[in-house]
Structure 1
Amino acid sequence: LSIFLLPSFPFPCRSNWSYLNPLTLKKRSEGLVGRCAHFTLEGHKFLIFGGSIHYFRMPREYWRDRLLKLKACGFNTVTTYIPWNLHEPERGQFYFSGNLDMEAFVLLAAKIGLWVILRPGPYICAEVDLGGLPSWLLQDPNMKLRTTDKGFVEAVDKYFDHLIPRVIPLQYHRGGPVIAVQVENEYGSFNKDKDYMSYVKEALLKRGIVELLLTSDNEKEIEQGSVEGGTNLELFQDLVFALVFEQTVSELINREISFNAYMFHGGTNFGFINGAVYFGMHRGVVTSYDYDAVLTEAGDYTEKYFKLRELFASISEKPLPLSPQHTLKTVYPSVRPSHFLPLWEVLQYLNEPVKSHIPVNMENLPINNGSGQSFGFVLYETSICSGGRLHAEVHDIGQVFLNYTILGVLNEKVQDLFIPNFTVCSSRIQVILCFYSLYCLPSAGLIGPVKINNVSLEGFTIYSLEMKMSFFQRLRSANWRPVSVRYLGPAFYLGTLKAGSFPRDTFLRLPGWVSGFVFINGHNLGRYWNIGPQETLYLPGVWLHPGDNEIILFEKISSGSHIYSTGLPKL
């Protein structure tokens, strides 16, 4: 829960503006302003009842449902981050369509009657990879992220030159719903450059942002992350239990304090976007971003929702809109994969591998128009002529194979493995790097030389496994093997999910499978891992076709026998 802390004064309160549609408010002269201890809008005291929804964490087809539920609950504002790494995955290549159509999301919120607070970063955290910064920034080994370092500033300027013109017509003073824009995110906990926040603020202002500027930090670091002329917000989180949540929100309303529920709807870390945390060791964030939010990962109502709606209804001048109907779930027949392909037989369907004298980490691979690799897996392969002690520094998790037979696993803590002696000098060693996040670490992949008995290996062939939609299109022409016995090792498994005439949402359960990713008709549902805590993956019905649907699992270790559908998540 984010708290907007600003002492009461005698303006007529219009905190119930949640029933007004921002697009119909024609006479606009003064936008959101922080005065004393309250916000005002058009000179009237205004309480922000905000809820966070990330447009990039759900299919576009579900935006309307989630926003309608926010409005029907009694909230008047939606807040969202803008992830730089998704909008500019390659240097100079911008994407603002489909699930990344930020403008369409904001305009839809306006039509539903919601104000909008945008949080464009450039760093957003949000538990996404590298906090939303694009990984190609790391190609400059001297670059200091989130500072006024020349290289970083130049990259931010080019991004803002493209992003901010899209935001300008969405602002309140231009007839749009955007009433505030956040400067960076929680910089007080980083705070490595006293000039940086001023730079970001000016970068927004000089490109045409005229609405109220906000910063966001926790109680202890709010001063370090503040910016002159902005309104600085205090963060409180982890109000888990519905009763405590209701009591806290009720007290905030009684004290006329604005707030934002992070998250109102968390959604899902589809694909490879989830970030990581560091507790003595790098740990990837789970696929679900349910966040114990007001709505579940699949957009279902919770006890928190009904308690909040009852609370908001008690202070609203007009009846709240009817809540949308519950999203129906279904249970599909189980899927038994019929065919599989060991990873080693898939390499021919990848893009041309990189030949390199030494290992190259992911972001420095000469692919994607020079922007490197941001997500997925990397396979490093070379020849060796002797056994002994293998040493390699890896970021994330690396599986080591000798002639396609697993030898062991490397990670941040384990950097050595014993290679058994052999007589054939043409033996091949393979290292598969499973990339979980750049959230904490400066690079991904193999960092530095790979050595056997302190002698550096050379002559690497490097395969990039980004697992984009185009890869799965090529894979359809492969000569798949029938599944007969359980296969040990990394492989792709192909099956058919029968969705009937009217596909609906469901959850997938994978008992017996160990660790990997699920793809439905080319859509990456995210990572599964039998260590838990998450045991199901959310499958949006809008990604299914009536009838047969292609389901492919990339399993890293050992296959199960079936993929099950269930109507309830287990997180």
Structure 2
Amino acid sequence: MKKIFRKFSTILLIFLSGVMFSQNKISAFEIKNGSFLLHGKPFTIHSGEMHYPRVPKEYWKHRLQMMKAMGLNTVTTYVFWNYHEESPGQWNFSGEKDLKKFIKTAQEVGLYVIIRPGPYVCAEWEFGGYPWWLQKNRNLEIRTDNKAFLDECEKYIIQLTKQIVPLQIDRGGPVIMVQAENEFGSYVEQRKEISLQAHRRYSHKIKDMLLKHGITVPLFTSDGSSLFKGGSIEGALPTANGESDIDVLKKSINEYHNGKGPYMVAEYYPGWLDHWAEPFVKVKTEDVVKQSEIYIKNNISFNYYMIHGGTNFAFTSGANYDKDHDIQPDLTSYDYDAPINEAGWATPKYTALRSVFQKLNNNKLPEIPQPIKVITIPEFKISKTAPLFDVIKGRKPVVNNQPLSFEDLNLGSGYVLYRRKFDQNQKGTLEIKGLRDYAVVYINEKKMGELNRIDKKYDLDIEIRKGDRLDILVENMGRINYGSEINHNIKGIISPVKINENEVSENWEMFTLPFDRFPDYDYKLKNIPQNSPVIQEAEFNLTETGDTFLDTRDFGKGIVFINGKNIGRYWKIGPQQTLYVPGVWLKKGKNVIQIFEQLNPNTTIKTIDHPILEQLVGLGGM
């Protein structure tokens, strides 16, 4: 009996010891007593933002090492829903899209990770991260307490959490915080027709989904300091984007976080975003250094948005909207005037900030990684050119009485050629008020003019004769990613085409041109009409590889593929006049360049060893 008692006592003691240990166990990362605590000790977040989809996967480690060498301790990234759900229900987290690999690489480098998964992200990214096909469901309304929308959000959050839950810091990974929604306060402010209570029901449901599916690290929100009423979420730390005044920062966070910190600026802007047809925005190095020192002196956690911007490859760039422009499409380059430039080079801003952070470190910071080698490719000629009108011959069009939108044609990005033949003369003003976003108009394959949303040019004078064929080549230049206009993101021609106020209906033919891959075509030598849209191809040989910059100053408007990868959009109006070509997408020996040129075919390909991002020509130069 005594043996049984002793055995029972031993088991009880072990059990009670375990209970006491679990009660006293220090969380790996937590918010406690107004501070961030890392393994029980106060921790100040010095973070830089970098989005893995904007950087080739082979360069992730280099860019992360650049951050570490600057003195940062954390990397922050958005996760773009539409980048991973490639079509409804088809998810991809492999290769370039391997989020787990990005997070693990950050840990290898010695950086903690903050995840900003949205579902809405803004980020100057197509549709703010939402899949375009959400708009096909007429019962769905984004960013609201709407069952159809929330059902889709939960599908995304389930897939997302599979990637990040195992890599949270309490499971041995580097993920220390996760954001719930994004900049929701500004959206609440713009959509006052919806009650604050309804807005908050939605944002809190997003938080609940994250918790339900395994997020255990602290949650946070980010908004302008005056927008916490609509944007803050109970149980999540409010952080203030862009706030430079420490007193305002603390007062705002105190009001919505139990009267105490920690205090964090989730977005401090060392640069700014850029649009086609507008000057490239610069932020002075001395201003960035001064503000950084203020944050550091006052023990404020902060995140540089962006520390390294990268590139909006393919059709990933988004757009803004304001009263003067129906759309402000973002550049292919997401350089952002960031401390680490688009190609991963250390800028003077980087060097100055590194000196600031070195003062905080007792140990010498790591050496700055060497930049990726840069090459220039000897000038060469385009060898194959074909008119787009020939390329689509033989394709079966969609026929309808009115032009259909991209969405109705089941097309997310790229172009649609709208065509109609006339059986009687027409003369006057062609008007397309529902143009989304840019169009070139042709009669019998001869260019008549350009229309675009940027300067609200929706009409031009034309003369059509009986038997003539009208072609309207329409381009989606990126869905709006910020503000209430995000709800009006249908692309293509979305209202009747008119000539002299009369609707042009019946017998519209539509050819979809997604350019998800470059079209196969049996090129034949022929004379190309001036100002004709064309596809072009050429081969070039390399004895070594490295980053380079395609000089597009002699081009018109279009997109470029290198070895099958869409490296982005160019447009002669600027300010961007080069396209960044990552060296890891080139190879020794034969390489292939393919171009879709919408305006004026070019015959010569040139590269240079530096970017040109500040040469604005403007719409007047079109």
TM-score by length of 2: 0.82
- Aligned match of 1:308: 353
Q: 2:508 aligns with which of 452, 460, 478?
A: 460
- Aligned match of 1:381: 419
* Residues 180 and 421 of structure 1: CA distance in aligned 2, closer, same or farther (over 3 Å): closer
1:102 has 2:147 as partner: no
Distance 1:543 1:324 in 2: 21
Q: CA deviation at 1:348?
A: 4.7
1:506 has 2:503 as partner: no
- What does the per-residue CA deviation read over 1:107-155, in whole Å, with 9 as the maximum and x for residues that have no partner? 1111111110001110100001111111101112353211111211111
Distance 1:503 1:442 in 2: 40
Q: Is the 8 Å Cα contact of residues 385 and 523 (structure 2) preserved in structure 1?
A: no
Q: Which amino acid aligns with 1:245?
A: V
1:410 has 2:451 as partner: yes
Greater fraction of residues in helix: 2
Q: CA deviation at 1:349?
A: 8.4
Q: Is the 8 Å Cα contact of residues 511 and 560 (structure 1) preserved in structure 2?
A: no
1:523 has 2:565 as partner: yes
Q: CA deviation at 1:37?
A: 4.4
- Aligned match of 1:243: 286
Q: Is the 8 Å Cα contact of residues 269 and 306 (structure 2) preserved in structure 1?
A: no
Q: CA deviation at 1:399?
A: 1.7
Distance 2:464 2:445 in 1: 16
Root mean square deviation, CA, Å = 2.0
1:330 has 2:378 as partner: no
1:535 has 2:577 as partner: yes
1:169 has 2:166 as partner: yes
Q: CA deviation at 1:527?
A: 1.1
Map 1:206-355 to 2 at 5 A. 206-236=212-242, 237-239=268-270, 240-279=283-322, 280-281=324-325, 282-348=327-393, 353-355=397-399
Moved more, 99-108 or 442-451: 442-451
SS in 2 for 1:148: coil
Distance 2:394 2:177 in 1: 47
Distance 1:485 1:124 in 2: 43
Q: Is the 8 Å Cα contact of residues 161 and 207 (structure 1) preserved in structure 2?
A: yes
Q: 2:599 aligns with which of 552, 557, 571?
A: 557
SS in 2 for 1:270: coil
Q: 1:443 aligns with which of 480, 485, 490?
A: 490
- Aligned match of 1:368: none
- What does the per-residue CA deviation read over 1:46-75, in whole Å, with 9 as the maximum and x for residues that have no partner? 010101111000111111111111112111
- Aligned match of 1:569: 611
SS in 2 for 1:553: strand
1:423 has 2:471 as partner: no
Moved more, 394-403 or 54-63: 394-403
Q: Which runs of 4+ in 1 moved over 4 A?
A: none
User: Percent sequence identity over matched residues?
Assistant: 38
- Aligned match of 2:10: none
Residue correspondences, number: 530
- Aligned match of 1:479: 523
Q: Is the 8 Å Cα contact of residues 415 and 513 (structure 2) preserved in structure 1?
A: yes
Map 1:24-63 to 2 at 5 A. 29-63=26-60
Map 1:180-195 to 2 at 5 A. 180-191=177-188, 192=191, 193-195=199-201
Distance 1:92 1:198 in 2: 25
- Aligned match of 2:407: 363
Structure whose CA Rg is larger: 2
Distance 2:118 2:25 in 1: 27
Moved more, 452-461 or 118-127: 452-461
SS in 2 for 1:158: helix
- Aligned match of 1:22: none
Q: Which amino acid aligns with 1:146?
A: R
Q: Is the 8 Å Cα contact of residues 82 and 131 (structure 2) preserved in structure 1?
A: yes
1:391 has 2:431 as partner: yes
Q: Which amino acid aligns with 2:399?
A: K
Unaligned 5+ runs, structure 1: 1-26, 366-371
Q: Is the 8 Å Cα contact of residues 486 and 558 (structure 1) preserved in structure 2?
A: no
- What does the per-residue CA deviation read over 1:181-215, in whole Å, with 9 as the maximum and x for residues that have no partner? 00111111101423121011011011111111011
- Aligned match of 1:130: 127
- What does the per-residue CA deviation read over 1:467-497, in whole Å, with 9 as the maximum and x for residues that have no partner? 123x44x23xx12436x67732111122223
Distance 1:185 1:65 in 2: 28
Distance 2:543 2:82 in 1: 37
Q: Is the 8 Å Cα contact of residues 435 and 458 (structure 2) preserved in structure 1?
A: yes
Moved more, 338-347 or 75-84: 338-347
Q: Is the 8 Å Cα contact of residues 511 and 563 (structure 1) preserved in structure 2?
A: no
Q: Is the 8 Å Cα contact of residues 486 and 559 (structure 1) preserved in structure 2?
A: no
Q: Which amino acid aligns with 1:179?
A: I
TM-score by length of 1: 0.89
Q: Which amino acid aligns with 1:494?
A: E
